[in-house]
Amino acid sequence: MAGEVVVDALPYFDHGYDEPGVREAAIALVEEETRRYRPTKNYLDYLPPPNYNAFETEMMKNEFERLQARLPMEMMNMKRYELPTPTAGKMTDISAWTECLENSQAQLEHQALRILNLDLMQEYGASAWKMYNGVLSQMLDQAQKQLQDLRKKIQEINWQRKNEQSVAGSKLEQLESSWVGLVSKNYEIERACAEVEKEIQEIQQRQGKR
């Protein structure tokens, strides 16, 4: 395959990484390759333009505009909680008093609902919170179990790599030892052949003189 790089390093088996000059040589190789690397002007051209407003709600948009304009935050409108009486000109107006009465009834209902919610929270809030904490604890246990499984898989992969590299390293040592032995034998055979050829030449020379 074109451009394929074969990595022949066996970090679990090889030695000598801590020797002087090895780290400097590796850094020099990286810097040399970096000088040959010519990145494009914009390597993100193939991606669509980002939509920064995809998750922006109308309320968020208004708040961002307020912050950009450096305007103060609008105070909470408490008018709906007020119980104003009719104005001086409408003190005898039945419809004005009716509106004030409906407003007060709505306020009373709202406060009654708040009291009901507080009573419910006081009675069931602790149990609901315990259930919520239980769900969080269960989620935490699941996340920790996933983390342990991932760490176990990583460890198994590392052990597998170490075992494969140790086997490959031992085989390489055997092959290297065999290669050294064959080279030595070939050298001995070549030397013996040279000595035999020399003896033959001497014999031929002695026979030629007779």
Give CA–CA dist 195/134, Å, rounded: 90
Q: Which residues contact 130 (CB under 8 A, 6 or more apart)?
A: none
Supply 208's token pair. Answer: 């030629």
Q: At CB < 8 A and 24+ separation, what contacts does 30-37 make?
A: none
Give CA–CA dist 94/43, Å, rounded: 74
pLDDT score, position 20:
85
pLDDT score, position 209:
66
pLDDT score, position 92:
83
Mean pLDDT of successive 10-residue segments in the chain (210 residues)? 64 79 87 77 81 88 92 83 82 88 89 94 92 96 97 95 90 92 94 92 79
Question: Phi and psi for 205 in degrees, rounded to 5?
Answer: -65, -40
Place of tokens 């898989």: 153
Among the listed residues 153, 158, 155, the one whose alpha carbon sits nearest the alpha carbon of residue 11: 158
Amino acid at 163: N
pLDDT score, position 41:
72
pLDDT score, position 135:
96
pLDDT score, position 5:
62
Supply 1's token pair. Answer: 């395959």
Residue 203 vs residues 6, 198, 209: alpha-carbon distances, Å? 55, 9, 10
pLDDT score, position 3:
57
Give CA–CA dist 170/176, Å, rounded: 10
Q: What is the CA 132 to chain-centroid distance, rounded?
A: 29
Give CA–CA dist 197/189, Å, rounded: 12
Q: Which residues contact 172 (CB under 8 A, 6 or more apart)?
A: 10
Give CA–CA dist 175/183, Å, rounded: 12
pLDDT score, position 83:
82
pLDDT score, position 65:
92
